Amino acid sequence: MSVPSASYSVTMRVTLENHSRIGAVTTAVGDAGGAVTALDVVDPNGSGMTIDLTCNAVDEGHSELLRAAVEVVDGARVIAMSDRTFLLHLGGTISVEPKVALKTRDDLSMAYTPGVARISMAIAKDPSAARKLTIKRNTVAVVTDGSAVLGLGNIGPEAALPVMEGKALLFKRFAGIDAWPVCLATQDVDEIVRIVQCIAPVYGGINLEDISAPRCFEIERRLRELLDIPVFHDDQHGTAIVVFAALLNALRVVGKELKDVRVVVLGVGAAGVAISKLLLKEGVGDVIGINRGGIISPSDERLDTERRWLASHTNKEKRTGSLSDAMAGADVFIGVSGSNLVSEDHLKSMAPHSIVFALANPDPEVDPVVARRYAAVVATGRSDEPNQINNVLVFPGIFRGMLNAGAKQVTEEIEVAAGRAIADVVTPGELSADYIVPTVFNPLVVTAVTNAVERLVGQTH
């Protein structure tokens, strides 16, 4: 599955004794498994030259192999190499910029003291005015404790910060929302709930991110009870919504109805539980959840409250055993677990016209090339494969809609509306086995989700 990626993009400054060596250098990179993406002439110095060669590698070790491959070329010498991803993150990826100019004393007296005192007094008389007169109306806190960051695990708040910056960047890029990372140096549930409760007056919404299960369930539940602004754990609900959207369209491709299919969910963590609950709400035929111990059972005392509830409301046939027992005859497989857990025998045992969503990143539960030999529709979380299941399709629009409408809670109805809006962006003429969800850069997505959420919130107010 490993292919060259911009995530491991490097630029090498290379001196060449002769112009004719350019072809040899690019060939050397290709032969070493890299992908040349740019070549810029820095200094055409007579018969020789200096070039900047940008190429994608598979990982950090591969970058060094590419450098070594260029060094072997006769007449070529690498004098410097830079990692473009690290360069992009120097000093962080977001910043705060003023919305008003401060050019005169009048500007200063209105934006700050003494004029700002009038704004403060207006809010003191009517706290709801903060939404109109401050950043609250367009600001989201991206809150994490660093306990479940991407596929990296419990790496702590400092290491989580670049990821939360990236999340804030996506909020701004796709929905014009000002978001700010809040990385907490505690993993105590009570402390996290209290801290978020205390900072909530600044924000119009709370996006919980990369908090491990089962603590994430309790944190979200308690904050939703305490706060009058939307609280949304993206790892749960963002994933569930985009999976729901993709499944709606995949079922249209294969000609099946949600009520008639049996879905196997491998990995009953935050995402797996949320996916299962949303599908159950929308009337799926059945769900079978599987964790490391096999098919989950309500009699398993090791299960927490959320997973025990799930076990009690799924698996109508009361199947027991391993993944093989669950996959036999299944219409849909949804993996939110780890790499290389699904075999060809598992895929062969599924029902005709099956659907496989292998969403583990960076390496999915099964190689999509293999999965496509047996399944009618295949999706992954990867950007280099068709049908990328990506939360970016969800959270910008759902928060944009809730902020615009002044929503106080995230409801299952909002989640369903968002999922259906995403699915409907793909027109009947566009729908195919290789195109069941729009791309993250499709400008129609945020607008469609925003409008759907605003309409729903407006109907309930």
Positions annotated as catalytic residues are: 112, 167
CA 263 to chain centroid:
22
Give per-residue burial for 423-458: e unless 16+ CB within 10 Å, then b.
bbbbeeeeeebeebbbebeeeebbbbbbbbbbebbe
3-state secondary structure at position 375: coil
CA–CA distances in Å: residue 260 to residues 51, 374, 455: 60, 20, 30
Instruction: Return the C-alpha torsion angle 153, 155, 159, 161, nearest 10.
Output: 60
CA–CA distances in Å: residue 161 to residues 94, 195, 209, 325: 11, 17, 11, 41
Q: Strands 332-335 and 262-266, how do they pair?
A: parallel
d(CA 441, CA 452): 19
Residue 333 belongs to what H/E stretch? strand 332-335
Q: Hey, what are 31's tokens?
A: 């032969």
d(CA 365, CA 81): 34
User: In the chain, count of helices (H) and strands (E)?
Assistant: 18, 14
DSSP 201: G
Residue 350 identity (one-letter amino acid)? M
